[in-house]
Amino acid sequence: MLKIENLRAGYGAINVLWDVSLNIEKGKLTTIIGPNGAGKTTLLRAIMGLLPASAGQIILDNKILNGTPTWKMGDTGVTMIPEGRMVFRDMSVEENLIMGVFGLAHRAHCKARLEQAWAMFPRLHERRRQLAGSLSGGEAQMLAMARGLMSDPSLLIIDEPSLGLAPLVVNELFTILERLKDGTRTIILVEQNTARAVGVADHVYLLQSGKVALSQPASEVNLEHLHALYFAR
């Protein structure tokens, strides 16, 4: 599905990723974890075309993505749900979701996708006329996820969905992630909660100082060993 080969990227003269290689398997959930500054966000930005790669390749379904503008990523079937519950605060919940099918290729499916969103996130249906800026943190995160799903992406990238949320809301979000693992889409999850991330994943990558420190099927991950690498013990 998605292959990243010897990727280098950074900010100006500061390089952050050092020859990073990953293989994201089709229809699976791959989680990428690591401490602050490990390069997780830089990696996602490079995939989405927000940062140029100074070396290496990003390959999606045998097509090189390097140089693809961010605004064209939706046409390739890639959607990212960014960190920070970024919603259009002065638009209603329903209007936010409609923005998820802004691309011409997706507009004809708007009504059907809305029905799917209401079914998966019934709380959003209750608040469909409410301004997004008045939602709670958990509801805003659900809205961001629902909007990302409106284009029915083949590759869904989710950045730190549990950040700053109450434990009960985190439980609800990870239940939704389990439901999304139906084999019809590929998911990349970046998450600080290592135990929850490993628990929902099929494969785990650990980034440390811009390099891959661990690549392992989730079923084989030893959390104690993972945490030792995470904290560079």
Q: How confident is the model at residue 104 (pLDDT cuts 50, 70, 90)?
A: low
DSSP output for 48-114: TTSS-EEEEEEEETTEE-TT--GGGGGGGTEEEE-TT----TTSBHHHHHHHTT-SGGGGGGHHHHH
pLDDT in tens, 133-161: 999 999 999 999 999 999 899 999 999 99
Tokens found for residue 169: 């809301």
- In percent, the amount of the chain with pLDDT more than 70 equals 98
Q: How confident is the model at residue 75 (pLDDT cuts 50, 70, 90)?
A: confident
- In percent, the amount of the chain with pLDDT more than 90 equals 75
Q: How confident is the model at residue 164 (pLDDT cuts 50, 70, 90)?
A: confident
Handedness of CA 183, 184, 190, 195 (dihedral sign): negative
Asked whether residue 230 carries a pLDDT value surpassing 70, the answer given is: yes
What is the arithmetic mean of pLDDT over 155-184? 90
How far is residue 164's CA from residue 172's CA, in Å, rounded to a whole number? 14
27-39+70-204+212-230, superfamily in CATH?
P-loop containing nucleotide triphosphate hydrolases (3.40.50.300)
pLDDT at residue 92, rounded to an integer: 97
Strands (E), the chain: 2-11, 14-24, 29-33, 53-60, 63-64, 78-81, 155-159, 186-190, 203-208, 211-217
How far is residue 12's CA from residue 24's CA, in Å, rounded to a whole number? 27
pLDDT at residue 14, rounded to an integer: 94
Which stretch of DSSP H or E encloses residue 44? helix 40-47
pTM assigned to the model:
0.92
Q: What is the DSSP letter of 8?
A: E
How far is residue 222's CA from residue 56's CA, in Å, rounded to a whole number? 30
Q: Which of 57, 56, 75 is nearest to 65 (CA)?
A: 57
Asked whether residue 106 carries a pLDDT value surpassing 70, the answer given is: no
Q: What is the CA radius of gyration of the chain?
A: 17
Name the residue ranges covered by the structural domains of the chain: 27-39+70-204+212-230
